[in-house]
Structure 1
Amino acid sequence: MTLTALRDDALAATADGFALRLGLPWIRSLPIASLAGLHVEIDGDTVTPLQVDVNGRQVEASALADEAAWWFLQDRLIVRGDRGVGAGAHRVIVSFDLVIPYLQIRPDGPLTLPFRIERTLVTDAAPAAPLSPVIDPHTGAPVLAPRGSARDDTTPPDLPAAWSLTASAFNWTPEVILAERAATDIAAGIIADGIAEAIEVEPGQLWRSFPEPDAAEVEALRETLEALGGRVSIVGASLDDWLPGSRRRDEEERLAFLVPQLKDARRMGALGVRLPIGQAGEPLLRKVRPLLHDLDLVLFEEIQGQQTPGSASAGVAIDTIGLIDDPHIRLLVDVSMLMPSVPESYLEQLQRGGVALELITRLRNEWRDPATVEAIVDLLRSGGVPPQIHTLYMDMLVRFGRSDATVLRSILPLVGAFHLKFWDLDDADGRVSEPIRDLGALLAPTAFAGTLTSEWGGHEWLDADPSEMTRAHLALARGALAAGSRPLA
C-alpha cells in the first residue's frame, strides 16, 4: 500500500510519555485482536510496557487478543508509552504481526503477516493538509469531476445490453485509508463523478460497525446512490474463519458470521455477494442456499491469479458449484488469470527493491515460460528476496496468472460476473487490453448476462489518482470488449 501506517503526524507528546497513531496496513477492517507482538522503539530505546486505546480504555498491548473490538480501516490506533519525546525529530520503529482471519495459509491457522515500519517523525507535527476541492471558475463552487480529469464526450462503443460495466470502490482504498472523507462519501463520489452507474463495495471499508453494520447506515448508502442514479452491484463479503488463538469457527459459527452480511447486501440492493473460491465449502453453501433464494441474492465465488479451472485450489470448488447447479451460486472470474506479461510499473518496484536485473529481464520477456516460475520460486527459497519487498514479490506466485482465455470455455455456463483487474494503464503490446478483448470474443456467442468490473490492484505500489485510473480503464475496457465481441468480417 502506498500509504504508510505511520504518517507525518503520528507522534505526539503526552504528560507522561508519548502517543503514537498507528494506521491499519491492510485493505479492510480487522478485529483488534489481530494485532499481535507490538514492539516500539524510539531513538533506539525499546518502550515497554505499551498500552492501546480501546473504546475509551487503555489496554495492555499484550492483552489485545482478549478484546472483541474491531479496528476500523479509517481509524488509527493510539499506542501509548511512558518514554518522553521532546520537540524535534525522532527515529521510530514499530513492528508487529497482523493476523488475517479470513485468509488461511496453513492447515492449523490463518495468514499472519509481519510488519516493520521505520520513520523519522517530528513530535506534534501538523497533519498533511487535505486536498483542495476543484473549484468551478464560473460559479465558485466545488465541482464533482476529479482534478486532472476530463469528461469524454465521444460516443462509447456499444456492448451487448446484458453486459454491465461497473467500477469497484476497492480502487479507492488508499483514499479510504487516508480518511480525509468518510468511506461512504468516497463510494458515493464514484457515482456522482459519472465514473460508473454501479459499484462493487467492501463493507469492511465502509462502516465502523462492520461485520454487522447498522441497518440505517446501509440503507442510507443505498438511498444516496439511488438519488445519484447509481446502485451497488456486488458486495465483497468476508468469512472470518479464524478466531483469536487460531481456533477455527465451526459451520454454525461461520454461517452466523456470513448471514448478517447477506442481509445487508439485500438492504443495499445488491445482486450478490463475493467470496474467494472454495472458502465457503459445500456444507456451508448448502446451508446458506435457502437464504440466498429468500433474499434473491447470488453468492459468487471468485477465481483469480494463479488459480485455473484445473488447479487443485479451485477445481473441487468449481465442481461443487456445478453439482449444486443453482443460479444463486455462481463463479466470478478475475482476468488476472490471463496476464500476458508482468506490469512494467511492478517490475520497476522489484528492481528498486533489489531484485537482480537478470530475473527482471526474464520476467519481462518470458513471463509464461514454466521455467520462469521455477526461477521465481528458487529465489524465494534461497532467501534472496529482500524483506522489504517480500509481500510484493509474492504477487507473482498468487495474484498474477499465466493462462490463456481459452481455459475459461469449460466453466462459462457457471460464470455470472468478471473482474477486469488491472495494475497500471501501460498497454504496450496489449498487456492490459488483450485479455479483455479475448474475453469479449469468448463471451460474444454466449448468453452471458452480468457485471464486468474495473478493479485496480496497482495502488499497492502506484501513487496515482484512482478516479483518473478507473475512468481511463473503463474506457479502455469498453473498447476492448467491443472489439472482441464484434463478429469477424
Structure 2
Amino acid sequence: MALPLLLDDALVATESGFALRVSLPWIRSMPVASVTDIAVQVDGSPVPVAVRLDEREVEPDALHAEQGWWFIQDRLELRGERMLPPGAHDISVSFVLVVPYLQAGPSGPLCLPFRAERALELGDAASVRPHSTAGRTSGREPAGAAQDDAPGDWIVSASAFNWTPEVIRAERTADDIAIGVVADGVASTIEIEAGQVWRSFPEPSDVDVDAFRERLASAGGAVTIVGASLDDWISPTARRTEQERLAFLVPQLRAAARLGARGVRVPFGQAGPGLLRLAQPVLHELGVVLYEEIQGQQTLDLPAVAANLELLQGLDDPRVRVLVDISLLMPSLPPSYLDELRRGGVDEELVRRLETEWRAPATHQAVIAALREGRVPPAVHTLFMNLLVRFGRSDVADLEPLLPLTAGVHLKFWDLDDADGRVSAPIADIGAALRRTGFTGTLTSEWGGHEWLDADPAATTRAHLALAQRALSAVGTAR
C-alpha cells in the first residue's frame, strides 16, 4: 500500500552522526526479520547504517536472526556515523519487506520493494520519542472492547482499519484511535486488526486485551471481529508446519474470545484442511468463529476457491464461516482511483477503457498486457496491481453457493462517488441475497481508498455508514 516511509521528523542528529526513523509502510506489525536489503543515501551519497533495536545496534544483514517485531506505530531507526550540517538534506531509503502471510507463487512469500526520497530538515535527537524504536517484543498500552450483540441481528459496524494512515502517523496510540471510533460516535461496534492495536501481537497479552476491553466497554462499544494473521513463512525459504501455524493462530483466537468478539478473520482458503481440523476443537472450546474472507478477484470457478468451498461445506461447522467482501461486486471502478492512475502517467486510452468497460474480459487482458510490456510507470505500479487483485467483477448471483455459509460481510468502498449506484448497488444486492438465506451476522464499513485518498476517515466512514443504512433499508434488511 502507498503508505508513508518518511514523516516530517524522520531525520535527527545524534552524538555520532544521524538517525533516520523509517515508518512501516504496511497495514499491520511485521517481524523485524522481514526487513532486508536496507540502503540509505544522504545528499546523493550512500551511507552505511546500523539498525537500532532496543539498546542494541544490529547490522542490516543480521536482521534475519532477530526475533522482535516492528510495531506498526514504531519507527525502524537507522543510524549512520556521518555528521550532518544543520538544515535540509536529500534523503533516500529503500528496503525489501518480506510479507510472511502472503504467498508469491509456490516457493516463497511475497517480497515487496519500498523506496522513498524526500528533503528532510535535520532535527534534534531529543525529538525521538521513547517508544519510537522497533524490535521490542511486548507492550502494555491500554485500549478496549465489549459484549457481543444477540445472534440474529444485522449489525452494521465500522472497521478501525479505515484509520490506518493515522495509525502509522502515530500522533495518537493505535488503541486510542480504535476506541475513538466508538467514543466519537462513528459506530457502536467495530472490527479491529490484531496487528494494529496490540504491541504484543502476534501473542496478544492478557493485560493488553483486558485494558482494551475495559476502555471500549466504558465508551459503550463492542468488537465484532478481530482481523487475525496466519504467517505461514518463518523466512523467505522456511515455511511453518501445520502445528506451528496452529501455534501462531491460537493466541489470536484466545485474545478474540477474551475480548468478547464473535471471532477472527483470515483470508479465504489460507488455513487449508489440515489447520482447519486442528483449529476446530479450539474454536469450539473458546466459542469463537473463524471467518474466511473472500474478496477482490477470487471467483468460485477458480480451482483453489472451489476446493476450499467444498471443504467448508463438508465441514458444515458453525464455528467456520465465510466473510464476503463486496469488492467482489464492483460494477465500475472508483473515479478517484482512475484519477490517480492518470496523475501517475498510465496511458489515457487504457484509463478510458477501465472507466467504461471495466468488466469486459478484453479489459482484463489489456491490464495484463500493460504490465508485461512495461507500460505501467513505477510510481503507480503497486496501485495498478489492485486491478488484478483487489477489484472484482462478479455478480451477486455468482456468490449463491457461498451465502448459506456467510456470517459476515465487508461493505468495502473506495470513495463515496455513488454515480449509477457504484457504491450502494452492491450493498443492496448482497443485502437482498442474504435476507433470503436467513443471514445472522455483521456488516462492516471498510474503506480501502486511503491508499490514494487523503480524506478524514471519521467523516468518510460516517458518510458511508449512512449510505449503507439507506441501501440496506431499501431492501428491508437494516436494523
What is the CA distance between 1:245 and its match in structure 2? 4.2
What is the CA distance between 1:125 and its match in structure 2? 7.1
* Cα distance in 2 for residues equivalent to 1:375 and 1:292: 44
* Cα distance in 2 for residues equivalent to 1:251 and 1:311: 24
Aligned residue-pair number: 455
Call closer, same or farther: CA 1:43–1:215 in 2, change over 3 Å.
same
Instruction: State whether structure 2 residue 275 is matched by structure 1 residue 276.
Output: no
Q: Please state whether the residue corresponding to 2:437 is helix, strand or coil.
A: coil
What is the CA distance between 1:333 and its match in structure 2? 0.3
Instruction: State whether structure 2 residue 116 is matched by structure 1 residue 117.
Output: yes
* Cα distance in 2 for residues equivalent to 1:292 and 1:4: 37
Call closer, same or farther: CA 1:277–1:3 in 2, change over 3 Å.
closer
* Cα distance in 1 for residues equivalent to 2:413 and 2:302: 23
- Out of 233, 236, 239, the position equivalent to 1:248 is 239
Could you say which residue in structure 2 is the equivalent of 1:93? 92
Could you say which residue in structure 2 is the equivalent of 1:44? 44
Counterpart AA for 1:74: Q
Could you say which residue in structure 1 is the equivalent of 2:305? 314
What is the CA distance between 1:3 and its match in structure 2? 4.5
Call closer, same or farther: CA 1:119–1:452 in 2, change over 3 Å.
same
Matches within 5 A, 1:463-474: 463-474=454-465
* Cα distance in 2 for residues equivalent to 1:66 and 1:288: 29
What is the CA distance between 1:114 and its match in structure 2? 0.4
Could you say which residue in structure 2 is the equivalent of 1:383? 374
- Out of 338, 354, 374, the position equivalent to 1:363 is 354
Q: Please state whether the residue corresponding to 1:106 is helix, strand or coil.
A: coil
Matches within 5 A, 1:279-290: 279-290=270-281
Q: Please state whether the residue corresponding to 1:291 is helix, strand or coil.
A: helix
- When normalised by structure 1's length, the TM-score is 0.91
Q: Please state whether the residue corresponding to 2:104 is helix, strand or coil.
A: strand
Q: Kindly indicate whether the alpha-carbon contact (under 8 Å) linking 2:95 and 2:115 is maintained by their aligned counterparts in 1.
A: yes
Matches within 5 A, 1:395-406: 395-406=386-397
- Out of 302, 305, 313, the position equivalent to 2:296 is 305
* Cα distance in 2 for residues equivalent to 1:332 and 1:261: 18
Q: Which stretches of structure 1, 4 residues or longer, exceed 6 Å deviation after superposition?
A: 125-128
Which ranges in structure 1 are unaligned for 5 or more consecutive residues?
129-159
Matches within 5 A, 1:20-419: 20-48=20-48, 50-124=49-123, 162-419=153-410
Could you say which residue in structure 2 is the equivalent of 1:13? 13
Q: Please state whether the residue corresponding to 1:444 is helix, strand or coil.
A: helix
What is the CA distance between 1:126 and its match in structure 2? 10
What is the CA distance between 1:468 and its match in structure 2? 0.5
Query: For the aligned residues, what is the CA RMSD?
Result: 1.7
Q: Please state whether the residue corresponding to 2:475 is helix, strand or coil.
A: helix
Q: Please state whether the residue corresponding to 1:266 is helix, strand or coil.
A: helix
Counterpart AA for 1:71: W
* Cα distance in 1 for residues equivalent to 2:422 and 2:309: 27
Q: Kindly indicate whether the alpha-carbon contact (under 8 Å) linking 2:99 and 2:109 is maintained by their aligned counterparts in 1.
A: yes
Call closer, same or farther: CA 1:61–1:199 in 2, change over 3 Å.
same
What is the CA distance between 1:37 and its match in structure 2? 0.1
Q: Kindly indicate whether the alpha-carbon contact (under 8 Å) linking 1:2 and 1:174 is maintained by their aligned counterparts in 2.
A: no
* Cα distance in 2 for residues equivalent to 1:301 and 1:211: 19
Which ranges in structure 2 are unaligned for 5 or more consecutive residues?
128-150
Percentage of pairs with the same residue: 59
Counterpart AA for 1:347: L
